[in-house]
Structures are given as C-alpha cells and as structure tokens.
Amino acid sequence: MMVLMNREATEEMIQAVIERLRSSGRDVKRHESRLRTCLEAAVQGDELNEKEFLSMDGVVDVIKQSSPFKLVACKAGQEKTIVDVDGVRIGGEEVIIMAGPCSVESKEQIDHLAKMVAANGAKLLRGGAFKPRTSPYSFQGLGEKGLRILRDAADAHGLKVISELMSIGQIEMLQEYAHIIQIGTRNMANYDLLKSLAKIKTPVLLKRGMGATISEWLLAAEYLLAGGNPNVILCERGIRTFDSAKDMILDLSAIPIVGRMSHLPIIADPSHGTGFRQYVTPMSRAAIAAGADGLLVEVHHQPEKALSDGPQALLLDQFTNMMSQCRKIAEAIGRFIAEPNEKE
C-alpha cells in the first residue's frame, strides 16, 4: 500500500499516517518528491482499510499494491480452470449447454424436455425446485419431489442436473440430486450461504447479483475458493439498467473482462438476461462469440402454461434452431458444441 500525501501536509500529519501504517506490523518506507510525500508499506490485501487513510489529514490518494482477489485471480502462467462435472468439462474447448424449464412443474414436462434437450446436444438439464420469487404469493417450487423428477429424467437421457439452492438447510438435499448447485442472483452476496457451500466439493454455479459489480461478484467467488471449494463456474445473467423497456441488460463485456481477471469458467444466461424469447437466440450467439464457456437457457414445450417466466422460454423448435446457430458460432472461434444426438 502506498499513501500519497500532498505538499501542504505537515510533519505531524505524515507521522500520523506512518504510525497507522506501522500498526500492520510492517516497515514503512518514505519517498519525498517536490510534490508529494509517498509512504509505502508491504501491507497485504485487507489488513488495512484504504478508505481510512483517505480520511486522514493531508492524504490525497492510496495505492493498493495487491489485489483483493487472491484465489480467483489469474496468476502469471496459470491455466484456465476446467470444472469437471461428473465427466462434463466446463471451461475447455467445448461450449457446454445447460437447458430446461424455469421451474420443475411435473414429471411429464421434465421427461419431455429432457429427451429433447439431450437430443440437441445439451449436457445438463436445468430446472428449479426451490424458486426465489419476488412476490410471496408466486409459485414457490415443488421442493424435493421436483429434484427427484429432474434427476430421474436426467439419468434416463445421459444428462447432468443443475438446480438452485436457496438456504443452508437445503445443501444436503441438493447434493444428493444435483451435479451443479446454482446460487441465484439474489443470494450472490449471502455470505453465510457461500461459506457453507465452500465446505463441500459439489460444483457451484454463481450467478452475478443484478446490482453487483464484477469485483463484488469475483469476491463472492473468493468466499467459495477461500473456504475450500475450487469448483466454481460464474454466470452472467443481466444487470440493472436505466432503460425500463428491458428487464435487465445482459452484460456480455463481463465475459472478456472476467476472462482476463480470473481463471474461472464463465457462462451466460440469455433467458433471464433478456426476459423475452425473441432475443434469446441472437444473444446466445453473441455470448459464445464473446467467449462464454457455456449457456444456461430456458426452454419449455408449453411456455404459455409455465408457472414462472414463460415469455422468456424458447419453444422446442426455436431451441433446436438456436443450438444449430450457436454450433456454427462456436466453430467460427475454434470451439465446439456437441452434435445433436440422433438416438434421442
């Protein structure tokens, strides 16, 4: 940490800063120039609070030397992390598609969708059994019954399962049924939940908070890594914007930015990120072109009857078409999406 003090700073002010820096137990170096006094100490990350120095007399700026991202950040020469989900590798050359309905509604629905999703080359089946609904009066999910339906259908079609978890008490149950545990946008900064998930090894898909900066999101991932769970997949799903015509704005620039800042894989959710099915296919193509390692997409065979988020779910033939277009985009950038499975 370097603390820069202006030329009007008195010796007393300078000594106050030196003393405070020394409270970290580190030596302080002092550089003098015509315009500044620069005080430097080899302080680690959050040992000392940057803002605190900014409030001291005579201080004009503070330079932090070390990133707050200890484990999520790319180290020199470090390879990109590939998260292995029971054989499905996320973060490698293959672009992984996760698809299914917003909510698990019935066995018939899931069986039908699982077959179709697998036939098109997707590798994971998505579906919510616990739903974080903005209104307490909205459909709240089928719970464990829904998870069992999801897992049975996935097993029958060679798919893995991703499903959302809402509280610490559900961890054990989710581990039993899901190959990836999803943390939704509303729980991204639920740090007690993250600490609990850090103690297991099941892969976690961490969605970005809709009002969260990229830094805050990476620090939420840091909670997982620091606590012992290295299997983290990031998911951009749209952030708040001032344009009320849109629910959200899918921040595709987060993909290359995270790609430079972190070794973790990152995927996109164009369904929640756009809110309307007519925009899902172009934004899916764009996400892959921007470098996403996968997609999380909603599909439904009867979206007008869906118990949640119907208007953003792709219809079956739209999904097939989207997969075909995305396959070409993946190839254009030297990656691939699994071919349709004729047997299904």
Label residue 281 left, alpha or beta by phi (over 0 means left) and psi (-120 to 50 means alpha).
alpha
| Contact flag: residue 229 with its own copies (CB under 8 A) | no
The single-letter code of the amino acid at 91 is G
| Contact flag: residue 244 with its own copies (CB under 8 A) | yes
Ordered alpha helix ranges (H), 91-213 = 107-119, 144-156, 171-177, 191-197
User: Which residues from 157-176 bind its own copies, rule CB under 8 A?
Assistant: 166-169
Total of chain residues touching its own copies, rule CB under 8 A: 106
| Given 42, 74, 119, 338, the residue binding its own copies (CB under 8 A) | 42
| Given 12, 25, 34, 75, the residue binding its own copies (CB under 8 A) | 34
Q: At what angle do helices 107-119 and 144-156 cross, to 10 degrees?
A: 40
| Given 74, 329, 335, 344, the residue binding its own copies (CB under 8 A) | 329
Whole-number Å distance between alpha carbons of 259 and 278: 28
Whole-number Å distance between alpha carbons of 128 and 113: 14
| Contact flag: residue 72 with its own copies (CB under 8 A) | no
| Contact flag: residue 35 with its own copies (CB under 8 A) | yes
Which range of residues in 81-89, 116-124, 217-225, 336-344 is near its own copies by CB under 8 A?
A: 217-225
Whole-number Å distance between alpha carbons of 277 and 318: 9
| Contact flag: residue 250 with its own copies (CB under 8 A) | yes
Question: x/- binding map, residues 89-128, to its own copies, per CB under 8 A?
Answer: ----------------------------------------
Whole-number Å distance between alpha carbons of 4 and 54: 9
Q: At what angle do helices 280-290 and 254-261 cross, to 10 degrees?
A: 30
| Contact flag: residue 260 with its own copies (CB under 8 A) | yes
Residue 100, H or E segment: strand 96-100
| Contact flag: residue 226 with its own copies (CB under 8 A) | yes
| Given 84, 155, 192, 339, the residue binding its own copies (CB under 8 A) | 192
Both tokens assigned to 50:
């940057």
CB count within 10 Å of CB 151 equals 21
Which range of residues in 92-100, 109-117, 171-179, 249-257 is near its own copies by CB under 8 A?
A: 249-257
Which range of residues in 114-122, 154-162, 171-179, 272-280 is near its own copies by CB under 8 A?
A: 272-280
Residue 62 CB-half CA count within 13 A: 20
| Contact flag: residue 243 with its own copies (CB under 8 A) | yes
295 touches 326 (CB < 8 A): yes
User: Which residues from 44-63 bind its own copies, rule CB under 8 A?
Assistant: 45-46, 49, 51-52, 54-56, 61, 63
| Given 186, 263, 301, 335, the residue binding its own copies (CB under 8 A) | 186
